[in-house]
């Protein structure tokens, strides 16, 4: 039970970090300048870098470890995912009540509208690509022995997935909360995003394991 209390608290804090990063990105991108959008994507990384540095539980960062764990790890992931979403939604809901709320709502509404008008297979594919990119970021950060290398792995892949509009299920919980959009289609798309993020990370992890196996052979 102590283990799950730790995962719950850590997952909520990870959700907070994602909301802070995503909110900063929204505020920058809402100004209409592509330069500020790039700046915002770098500032988004503040949340992700904090998660990696403090070893918080983030679904998209942990799902790539499925092949390294026993089946009970799926329960750990489920708890992580639920409380990531909860932490993200709670903080976004509180921020929405402040004077920053209107600007964030307007910025998020256009992003969410584009997602809602997208096809299911596009959402799934973009989610898979996001899962791959996040896996690269986490794996690179953990294996890098150089402090600068850790920073680059924590920042560059995140900027890539944001600018390419890949689908990150936890960050999207922040955008949808600001936009105030919730219906059955949203539930279906979030399920696709979570699945796609997982497929991408596990697929890339499997390929790396195959390379190591072939090297041994």
Backbone φ/ψ region at 180: left (φ over 0), alpha (ψ -120 to 50), beta = left
- pLDDT greater than 90 at residue 184: yes
Confidence category of residue 110, pLDDT binned at 50, 70, 90: very high
Q: What share of the chain has pLDDT > 90, as a percent?
A: 89
The string of DSSP codes covering 56-118 is: ---HHHHGGGGGGS-TTHHHHHHHHHHHHHHHHHHHHHHHHTSTTHHHHHHHHHHHHHHHHTS
Residues spanned by the domain of 204 = 2-216
Q: How many domains does the chain have?
A: 1
- pLDDT greater than 80 at residue 97: yes
Three-state SS at 121 = helix
Q: Average pLDDT of the chain?
A: 94
Residue 203 has which token pair? 């697929």
Contact partners, residue 100, CB within 8 Å, separation at least 6: 23, 27
pLDDT at 44: 94
Between these two residues, 213 and 74, which has the higher pLDDT value? 74
Confidence category of residue 199, pLDDT binned at 50, 70, 90: very high
Q: What is the mean pLDDT of residues 193-205?
A: 97
Residue 217 has which token pair? 């052979």
* CATH at residue 131: 1.20.1080.10
pTM flag (> 0.85): yes
* Selection from 174, 37, 27 nearest residue 99 by Cα: 27
Q: CB atoms < 10 A from the CB of 48, how many?
A: 27
Q: What is the mean pLDDT of residues 115-137?
A: 97
Handedness of CA 46, 48, 51, 52 (dihedral sign): negative
pLDDT at 194: 98
Confidence category of residue 2, pLDDT binned at 50, 70, 90: confident
State pLDDT tens for residues 133-182: 999 999 999 999 999 999 999 999 999 999 999 999 999 999 999 999 99
State pLDDT tens for residues 28-56: 988 877 888 899 999 999 999 999 999 99
Continuous segment of H or E residues that includes residue 22: helix 2-29
pLDDT at 217: 65
Measured distance CA(44)–CA(104) in Å, rounded? 14
The string of DSSP codes covering 125-155 is: HHHHHHHHHHHHHHHHHHH--SHHHHHHHHH
Three-state SS at 31 = coil
């Amino acid at each position: 039970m102590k283990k799950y209390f730790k995962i719950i608290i850590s997952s909520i804090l990870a959700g907070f970090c994602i909301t802070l990063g995503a909110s900063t990105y929204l505020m920058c991108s809402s100004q209409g300048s592509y330069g500020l959008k790039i700046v915002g994507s770098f500032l988004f990384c503040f949340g992700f870098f904090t998660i990696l540095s403090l070893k918080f539980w983030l679904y998209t960062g942990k799902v790539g470890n499925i092949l390294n764990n026993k089946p009970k790890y799926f329960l750990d992931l489920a708890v992580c995912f639920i409380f990531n979403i909860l932490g993200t939604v709670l903080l976004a809901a509180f921020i929405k009540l402040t004077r920053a709320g209107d600007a964030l709502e307007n910025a998020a509404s256009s992003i969410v509208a584009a997602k809602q008008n997208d096809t299911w297979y596009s959402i799934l594919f973009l989610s898979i690509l996001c899962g791959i990119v996040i896996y690269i970021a986490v794996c690179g950060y953990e294996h890098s022995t150089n402090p600068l290398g850790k920073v680059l792995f924590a920042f560059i892949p995140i900027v890539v997935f944001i600018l390419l509009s890949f689908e990150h299920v936890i960050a999207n919980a922040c955008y949808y909360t600001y936009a105030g959009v919730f219906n059955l289609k949203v539930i279906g798309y979030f399920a696709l995003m979570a699945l796609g993020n997982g497929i991408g990370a596990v697929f890339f992890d499997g390929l790396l394991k195959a390379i190591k196996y072939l090297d041994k052979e």
